């Protein structure tokens, strides 16, 4: 396990280098296109060929015990950033890079290519991978800040007033959450003198009961977690971001925020292992987000807004699994994150197709789409079934495990709530499906230039992936479950 794997930092460094490179190549569209396609292939290959292990930047493996608490002598502090790469990171990295690739391909196909735009996508990819890999709490913080700026820049690039407003709100609250994460880190550093997550977790576990400084740090970091994953008080801001980005970028943004949710929750569980109240609080916020998200999704008459709220409520469902706190629940939550990201990406790509083809995503103005795009309609129907947990698809497997985990954790009521929520999600999206594709009425204006071959290929590939995971869930689920067991939270 502890081999010093040199390829691990490439997952963060390569996207950053490529971002700088394509940023310089502004307005040279052909070279940007070439470089992005080549680098995307490399980004997908790197997680596959990397060996599991840890990478130590300028550090050495700690031998022996961790330092005494509250004693900040320099020789005893373990400096140097550590990245660790396990099975969970491999699965998440693969899904993330593949969906990033699909997003960039759609962007290229739409002739919206621009060096800065692709650079921002690459920076957000690098930040998300660093957040998932980092075993160092300050490195994690730095990349969350990068992620906020890059995501805001992706939304700003739409150049509409609403997107400016959404990005401004996102950055204002990003300041609060960034400050609260850093303050939490500062409190931990002050009382334990450590930044490495493994060491910190050992030190806190050895220290016994958390004192009031540690508890304040828990509160502050929890606020940061709520912001990064778009749970309750920040759900409006997050759904505004999804709604006002281009739909193919929203497909990327929701992947990033769900994976950051998982990564940061795992960091919190590892650092404050044995502190049960944290998990209950997470569960409370998660349930609230899920319900509010579904209720809001049911009210919408605009496709992108509807999908945004569905994405937020599904993020809440992932957090429900994590908040249950048993290893079965955590594994089910992470598995649901992977599944949900795939089916949600299909829906956002469909929204992208609809937006290009019919020039609007307002459901009141759309009708009779099935004659124009039968394949897209069929795939959207399948994706709707997938996201609401209908058996042959992947979400069924994870939601079934979520309900089982809730029952095992002694909260069978949560199982009922999860079933109700999948029904609500189904109603919300099937309403959109009916209004776009089935509703009779006069012909709508169609942009005949848009053929959407790329989008169609992407959604077909993704729905096949959904079906594959649904038929063989253990290929994905077993590594996740073993990883969660090895965490021992």
Binders of another protein among residues 235 to 274 (CB under 8 A) are 235-237, 240
Euclidean distance between CA atoms 328 and 411, whole angstroms: 14
Which residues, at least 6 apart from 102, have a Cβ–Cβ distance to it below 8 Å?
248, 251, 345, 349, 458, 462
Nearer to another protein, 156 or 480 (CB): 156
Euclidean distance between CA atoms 95 and 92, whole angstroms: 5
Sole binder of another protein in the list 79, 375, 457, 471 (CB under 8 A) = 79
CB 292 within 8 A of CB 235: yes
Would you count residue 120 as binding another protein (CB under 8 A)? no
Closest alpha carbon to 246 in 382, 342, 112? 112
Would you count residue 390 as binding another protein (CB under 8 A)? no
Sole binder of another protein in the list 42, 94, 411, 450 (CB under 8 A) = 411
Euclidean distance between CA atoms 167 and 176, whole angstroms: 14
Strands (E), 71-118: 82-85
Range 182-201, binding another protein (CB under 8 A): 182-183, 185-186, 189-190, 195
Tokens of 346: 């299909």
Sole binder of another protein in the list 366, 380, 421, 489 (CB under 8 A) = 421
Would you count residue 68 as binding another protein (CB under 8 A)? no
- How many binding residues for another protein (CB under 8 A)? 81
Would you count residue 441 as binding another protein (CB under 8 A)? no
Sole binder of another protein in the list 291, 390, 454, 460 (CB under 8 A) = 291
Would you count residue 311 as binding another protein (CB under 8 A)? no
Nearer to another protein, 309 or 477 (CB): 309
Would you tell me how many other CB atoms lie within 10 Å of the CB of residue 251? 30
* Residue 229 CB, nearest approach to another protein (Å): 13
CB 32 within 8 A of CB 92: no
Euclidean distance between CA atoms 171 and 211, whole angstroms: 32
Window 13-52: contact mask with another protein (x via CB under 8 A): ----------------------------------------
Euclidean distance between CA atoms 70 and 68, whole angstroms: 7
- Piece in contact with another protein (CB under 8 A), picked from 26-34, 227-235, 394-402, 473-481: 227-235
Sole binder of another protein in the list 311, 428, 463, 466 (CB under 8 A) = 428
């Amino acid at each position: 396990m502890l081999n010093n794997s040199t390829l691990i930092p490439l997952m963060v460094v390569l996207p950053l280098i490529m971002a700088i490179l394509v940023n310089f190549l502004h307005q040279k569209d052909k070279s940007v296109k070439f470089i992005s396609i080549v680098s995307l292939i490399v980004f997908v290959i790197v997680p596959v060929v990397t060996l599991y292990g840890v990478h130590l930047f300028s550090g050495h493996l700690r031998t022996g015990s961790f330092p005494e608490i509250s004693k900040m002598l320099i020789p005893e502090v373990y400096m140097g950033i550590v990245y660790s790469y396990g099975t969970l990171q491999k699965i998440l990295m693969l899904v993330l890079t593949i969906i990033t690739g699909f997003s960039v391909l759609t962007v290229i196909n739409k002739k919206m290519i621009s060096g800065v735009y692709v650079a921002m996508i690459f920076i957000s990819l690098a930040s998300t991978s660093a957040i998932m890999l980092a075993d160092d709490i300050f490195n994690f913080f730095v990349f969350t800040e990068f992620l906020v700026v890059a995501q805001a820049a992706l939304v700003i690039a739409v150049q509409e007033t609403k997107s400016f407003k959404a990005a401004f709100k996102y950055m204002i609250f990003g300041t609060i959450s960034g400050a609260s994460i850093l303050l939490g880190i500062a409190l931990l550093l002050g009382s334990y003198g450590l930044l490495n997550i493994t060491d910190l977790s050992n030190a806190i576990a050895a220290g016994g009961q958390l004192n009031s400084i540690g508890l304040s740090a828990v509160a502050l970091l929890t606020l940061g977690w709520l912001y990064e994953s778009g749970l309750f008080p920040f759900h409006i801001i997050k759904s505004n971001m999804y709604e006002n980005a281009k739909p193919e970028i929203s497909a990327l943004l929701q992947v990033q925020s769900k994976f950051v949710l998982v990564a940061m929750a795992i960091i919190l569980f590892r650092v404050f292992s044995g502190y049960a109240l944290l998990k209950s609080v997470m569960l409370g916020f998660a349930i609230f987000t899920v319900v509010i998200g579904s209720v809001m999704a049911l009210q919408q008459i605009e496709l992108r807004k509807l999908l945004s709220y569905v994405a937020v409520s599904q993020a809440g469902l992932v957090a429900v699994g994590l908040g249950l706190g048993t290893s079965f629940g955590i594994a089910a939550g992470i598995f649901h994150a992977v599944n949900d990201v795939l089916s949600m990406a299909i829906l956002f790509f469909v929204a992208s197709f609809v937006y290009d083809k019919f020039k609007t995503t307002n459901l009141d103005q759309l009708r009779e789409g099935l004659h124009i795009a039968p394949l897209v309609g069929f795939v959207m129907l399948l994706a709707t079934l997938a996201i609401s947990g209908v058996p042959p698809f992947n979400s069924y497997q994870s939601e079934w495990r979520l309900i089982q985990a809730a029952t095992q954790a002694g909260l069978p009521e949560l199982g009922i709530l999860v079933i109700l929520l999948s029904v609500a999600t189904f109603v919300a999206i099937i309403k959109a499906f009916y209004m776009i594709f089935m509703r009779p009425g006069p012909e709508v204006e169609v942009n005949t230039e848009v053929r959407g071959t790329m989008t169609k290929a992407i959604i077909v590939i993704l729905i096949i992936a959904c079906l594959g995971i649904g038929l063989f869930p253990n290929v994905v689920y077993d590594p996740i479950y073993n990883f969660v067991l090895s965490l021992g939270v």
